[in-house]
Structure 1
Amino acid sequence: MTPAARLAAAIDLLAALEAQPRRPADAIANDFFRARRYIGGGDRRAISDRAWGVVRQRQRLDWWLAQVQCRPTPRMLVVAELLLAEGMDLPAVLQAFPGGQYAPEPLSVPEEKLLRALAKARGQAQGVEGLVHPAMPEGVRLNLPDWVIPGFRARFGDRLAEEAAAMEQPAPLDLRANLLKTSREAAAAALAAEGFETEPTRWSPWGLRLPGRKPVTATAAFTEGLIEVQDEGSQLIALLTDARPGLRVADLCAGAGGKTLALAAAMRNKGRLTACDVSAPRLEGAVRRLRRAGVDNAERHLLIPGDRWAKRRAGQFDRVLVDAPCTGTGTWRRNPDARLRTGCADLRELAAKQREILDIAAELVRSGGGLVYATCSLLPEEDEDQVSAFLGRHPDFAPLPLAEAWSAAGLPGEPPAEGPYLVTSPARHGTDGFFAAILQRRSGG
């Protein structure tokens, strides 16, 4: 595809995202490219990079466009991104819209007028760094929605700006070697043979890291089940669950099975692993992943309203993992559209669900067993506050300090965080933002 055709496709993809603002962008993009199978892999990545670049900077681009009373249409968002983020001059921006087959239509007279006003506003501004203008409100300057700033400030304190900047950057691609079929070293060698050079992750003994986004799902290493895509922070949660061979383990919010796969590998296919979820399609997707990974000790259970499964299984599990539905604020560098889709109402609704799920999970844990509560959120309301409230309702549970849980799980070195709980973040750890609390039920509880 020509550069102009790629630009036109990126504008079309942004329009598709605008048309379904509550739907995850990656799902929309998958449908977009599935309907355009003629677009090759390299072109697909270039188009996605352009669109995600706009999505990542949407708050700031909207602010700049508002300065010239311009509505943020997909075309004008791309114009602003070319001018302000990429530093193109006026003639170059105009030439990027040449018209003709497969190319974006030339800028209309009103659009060109807005472009010139935007260029003038940028030229007259003082103290601008990149897209950041000193007159921007705090949320726009930090590229964070206002509703998360109190929670993030409580979490990060003086490091808020550093962490906000790290959340703007594209995430690396982390992989987990599937120990049911290979070792980390052998998986790295298999990937290297296909042209993918990796490096070991810092904390997870299972992990390998690739810079940027790479098409690893097309490799033999992936199709043969030697590797899975999984962020290092997510791997650490599975490791801290301490799911050993022979135990009975429940993954209560299994989704598509990412942590279920890791738990099965830790159990060496010995014992009984139950993957639960409220979504039948997600569980069905997990079946294919489990089969590819060579997992044969897992069963599935679909949780439905009025289900008495938890009552019948009360006190039967050695380990229960609650990877709770959450706002996903820790994954915003990987899912930049989520910061535009999520708000205070979602936080309130999710906090209520988290509380309900934790109470169900508590019933399942046997005396002396363990419950791991985890989120991919960095908001205290979904993390420490939930754990504190849970412990108030369930005095027969007590937190196992992170250092002790790290040692008990046989993990090498020191854990990546101080304090009683696991908290990882993009700036400090190079992972997505994750929280995990390891809670033990007292014997006789």
Structure 2
Amino acid sequence: MIPAARISAAIEVLDDIATRRRPAPDALKDWGLAHRFAGSKDRRAIGDLVFDALRHKNSSAAVAGGDDGRSVMIGLFFHHRGLDIAGLEKLFSGDRFAPEPLTDDERATLASDALSSAPDYIRGDYPEWISPNLARVFGDNVVAEMQALANPAPLDLRVNTLKAEADHAASELTAAIGRAPERPALSTLCLRLPLEPGTAEPHIASTEPFLKGQIEIQDLGSQLAAEFAGARPGMQVLDLCAGGGGKTLSLAAAMQNHGQIFAHDSDRRRLAPIHDRLTRAGVRNVQVRTPRPNSDVLDDLENRMDLVLVDAPCTGTGTWRRNPDAKWRIRPGSLAERNKDQAIVLASAGRYVKVGGRLAYITCSVLDEENTDQIDAFLAANPGFSVVPPQAVVEAYEQESMNILGPAVRLMSNGLLMTPLNSGTDGFFVSVLTRNS
């Protein structure tokens, strides 16, 4: 397919997403099934266009003066990809398979610099209704923070120290994919592969280092969140919302396979991948507690845990780099529902922490309503718990890892916040509490 034809296809997909209010992957899959002549490179290029347009939907629409797929695509190429009017006219030519030519109104709007006076939610590319929530966290810096959250994310890998040293894993990965990973300053165990425009991500799951269990796919923010929890060899640990086991594996490596981890999730389907992952990673100290009907599979753990980790259900606002269509599908009711879920899981988690033990609360959200507010509410209802000072959490990590976090992590009233702008990670919040009585 010629570039102009790919743009026409992306416009069609964007209109389908808007009309039917459906996830972008579903719309792209249906388009591919209906246009089987499109090869894998074409489908990938169309997908890249669609996701880029969704990352920058508000600003692109404002630049071009409309909110349909055509306007968003015009604004994307003009404002975010740097094409001038002449360049746009070569793509929007009206030739066979190409979008219709630019109209006089479209040219006039492009020349008007509509973004200069646009509100923050337009320039920052996020839903208008969530503006007060984001302004509460970021204040005058909200546009810069949200623009960073609209950029594509790199592919981060965690070195599994149960199977390999970091330098060895990096060397093995370089040999496997033909390019050397970057080594972010915040962690010696993170291997980073920045996105290369126009090329597909390497298929890490088929490489020797992955198959040998030397590396795991995990965002650096998620890696750091697990480290901040403070798991150590010999501990008794409960990963209460373990899901597929990403943080369980991190905890096991930090504990060097000594002690015991209990991995649980309320949805047995989310737990399904964990067994194969544990085997591949060489983890031997994890007991999976799969939920059973009419049975409390965790009742023997009450008041026994040195550490309870809560990777809480949340809106996922911190992952918008990876899921740009999710930010346009989120609704105010979703936030309210997640707040209820978070309160329930936090109350449950407190039951398992022993006196002197820790509770680590983690979300992939940047919203205070899911982060600091939840911790304040929990502390008000549970006076036997107190916050480990965020600065102390940072210092403990720096001393243990020999990495310096500095301004990469924002110290909140009762936790730590990581964002793409400051830490180069997804958005993550971490609060560590201790049980005093």
Q: TM-score normalised to the size of structure 1?
A: 0.85
Unaligned runs of 5+ in 2: none
The answer to whether the aligner puts 1:397 opposite 2:380 as a matched pair is: no
Partner SS state of residue 354, structure 2: strand
The answer to whether the aligner puts 1:210 opposite 2:197 as a matched pair is: no
Cα drift, residue 297 of structure 1: 2.4
Cα drift, residue 12 of structure 1: 5.3
1:265 is aligned to: 253
- Contact 1:310–1:363, Cα closer than 8 Å, also in 2: no
Partner SS state of residue 204, structure 1: coil
Give me the whole-angstrom Cα distance separating, in 1, the residues matched to 2:433 and 2:216.
27
Structure 1 stretch 75-84 or stretch 244-253: which is displaced more?
75-84
- Contact 2:4–2:91, Cα closer than 8 Å, also in 1: no
Task: Output the amino acid matched with 2:250.
Answer: A
Cα drift, residue 241 of structure 1: 1.7
2:3 is aligned to: 3
Distance change in 2, residues 1:432/1:84 (3 Å): closer
Cα drift, residue 207 of structure 1: 1.0
Match of 2:118 among 136, 146, 163: 136
Cα drift, residue 47 of structure 1: 2.5
Give me the whole-angstrom Cα distance separating, in 2, the residues matched to 1:273 and 1:330.
27
Count of aligned residue pairs for this structure pair: 422
Cα drift, residue 279 of structure 1: 2.7
Partner SS state of residue 244, structure 2: coil
Structure 1 stretch 146-155 or stretch 4-13: which is displaced more?
4-13
Cα drift, residue 50 of structure 1: 1.0
Structure 1 stretch 432-441 or stretch 196-205: which is displaced more?
196-205
- Contact 2:290–2:297, Cα closer than 8 Å, also in 1: no
Cα drift, residue 316 of structure 1: 2.5
Partner SS state of residue 265, structure 1: helix
Partner SS state of residue 202, structure 1: coil
Cα drift, residue 40 of structure 1: 6.2
- Contact 1:148–1:379, Cα closer than 8 Å, also in 2: no
Give me the whole-angstrom Cα distance separating, in 2, the residues matched to 1:203 and 1:247.
25
- Contact 1:225–1:292, Cα closer than 8 Å, also in 2: yes
1:184 is aligned to: 166
- Contact 2:8–2:99, Cα closer than 8 Å, also in 1: no
1:327 is aligned to: 315
Distance change in 2, residues 1:239/1:441 (3 Å): same
1:439 is aligned to: 433
Give me the whole-angstrom Cα distance separating, in 1, the residues matched to 2:403 and 2:67.
53
Cα drift, residue 75 of structure 1: 4.8
Q: Deviations over 1:283-315 (max 9, x none)?
A: 112333223222232233344676523444211
Unaligned runs of 5+ in 1: none
Q: Deviations over 1:171-213 (max 9, x none)?
A: 2222111111111111111112231212222222321222126
Task: Output the amino acid matched with 1:50.
Answer: L
Partner SS state of residue 253, structure 1: coil
Task: Output the amino acid matched with 1:54.
Answer: A
Cα drift, residue 276 of structure 1: 1.7
Q: What does residue range 18-417 of structure 1 map to in structure 2 within 5 Å?
A: 18=18, 21=21, 23=23, 25=24, 42-63=41-62, 67=65, 72=68, 74-75=69-70, 77-83=72-78, 85-86=80-81, 87=83, 88-89=85-86, 91-95=89-93, 98-99=95-96, 104=97, 107=100, 112=101, 115-123=103-111, 125=112, 128=113, 133-194=115-176, 195-212=178-195, 214-217=201-204, 218-303=206-291, 307-408=295-396, 410-415=400-405, 416-417=409-410
Structure 1 stretch 182-191 or stretch 281-290: which is displaced more?
281-290
Cα drift, residue 83 of structure 1: 5.0
Q: TM-score normalised to the size of structure 2?
A: 0.86
Q: Deviations over 1:214-263 (max 9, x none)?
A: 31424322232211121111111111222222322111112222111211
Cα drift, residue 105 of structure 1: 6.3
Cα drift, residue 413 of structure 1: 4.5
Distance change in 2, residues 1:71/1:15 (3 Å): closer
Give me the whole-angstrom Cα distance separating, in 1, the residues matched to 2:403 and 2:109.
53
Distance change in 2, residues 1:20/1:240 (3 Å): farther
**% identity of equivalent residues:** 38
Task: Output the amino acid matched with 1:215.
Answer: P
Task: Output the amino acid matched with 2:189.
Answer: W
Give me the whole-angstrom Cα distance separating, in 2, the residues matched to 1:316 and 1:37.
57
Distance change in 2, residues 1:78/1:413 (3 Å): closer
Give me the whole-angstrom Cα distance separating, in 2, the residues matched to 1:165 and 1:78.
18
Give me the whole-angstrom Cα distance separating, in 2, the residues matched to 1:29 and 1:281.
25
